[in-house]
Structure 1
């Protein structure tokens, strides 16, 4: 989970001002907050998550202790490719997460038939990533979903409308899966270069090269 810190700082002479930090991983925010508290000049400290939820120091630290043994700080990269000649789609997803104070990476691809466009392949790749999260046991936590398709990202975040029947069906399927897992999504659109791993997995799937990997980073 990512949070930003909002704090009131008081000088020795009693002057006060309010600071707000950039977003950062909750664990990092706790370490910084602990260090700042040692100055004795922090009058008030609040953590704000990506959904504008407010946390006290004790609440955030307790939450981080509770999820330590569960998969958390999850980022899912996804990409799909469609071959017009074969009418086959290659799906790729990469999942980064932490558990028991260790960092892990899952790489998975799949070759599928029955899709009709590259956009549909992109949706199917995201659904593949969510299926991997379900197998991982991830549930009831925020997850960042990253793709290079503006159509998919902005249709899912509600910024763009969806008129295609087959894509609307995928949106419904993905939203049901998110609700089933209790996942609060944050959608992020990146360039293809920034989505290189998932793109390569999708390409390898179209070449009938199957990839399944789950290891510590």
Structure 2
């Protein structure tokens, strides 16, 4: 989770100003703050995330220790493929997360029947990603959901209205699940090229090739 450092500096003569850092990893923010404290200058730190939640240095260190053994720094890629004649869909999700100092990738897909459109398949794929987060016991954390479905991303970001009753039901279902899990969700639209893993899983699911696997990855592979 990216963190900004808010630094309040005061000179011996009493002049005071504030500085805000670029976003950085929590571990880097803590290391920089501890290094600045060694200067002996009169400094005050506040750490802010993108949702305006704030921590003191002591609170942030405690928080990072608590989450190390649980999945965190979570990104979910999702994609749904729809076969109109069969009214069947392939749903795929790829979840990247950190746990106990290592980075992991979870891949999951399923074959689904009874859906009516490609947009519904995309929502079902997003819901699949949430179910997998439930299985990982993820709760009360920020999560970024990434997909190439413009309708889904814009509607979940409240940028486009939804006039379709079936899609509205998916939105309600997803928002209720997010609320119960205590997640702070953000949604990002990417090109299909940048969503290849989830797209491939959706295609494989349509062909009834099911995949469920978790593997360790390098942090740069996210």
Decide: shared fold, TM above 0.5.
yes
Cα RMSD after superposing both structures: 1.9
- Cα 1:43–1:107 change in 2 (3 A) is same
1:192 to 2:192 alignment: yes
Would the aligned equivalents of 2:37 and 2:43 in 1 still touch at CA under 8 Å? Answer: no
Q: Which residue of structure 1 aligns with residue 70 of structure 2?
A: 70
Between the aligned partners of 1:181 and 1:128, the Cα distance in structure 2 is 14
- Cα 1:40–1:146 change in 2 (3 A) is farther
Between the aligned partners of 2:88 and 2:42, the Cα distance in structure 1 is 58
- Cα 1:12–1:191 change in 2 (3 A) is farther
Between the aligned partners of 2:193 and 2:75, the Cα distance in structure 1 is 17
Q: Deviations over 1:44-87 (max 9, x none)?
A: 22111111112111111111111111111111111111122322
SS of the equivalent of 1:2 reads coil
**Structure 1: where are the runs of 5+ without partners?**
none
Shift of 1:15: 6.8
Would the aligned equivalents of 1:7 and 1:42 in 2 still touch at CA under 8 Å? Answer: no
Q: Deviations over 1:91-147 (max 9, x none)?
A: 110111111111111000111111111111111001001101111111122111111
SS of the equivalent of 1:214 reads strand
Q: Deviations over 1:15-53 (max 9, x none)?
A: 764322222332232223223333344622211111111
TM-score by length of 1: 0.91
TM-score by length of 2: 0.89
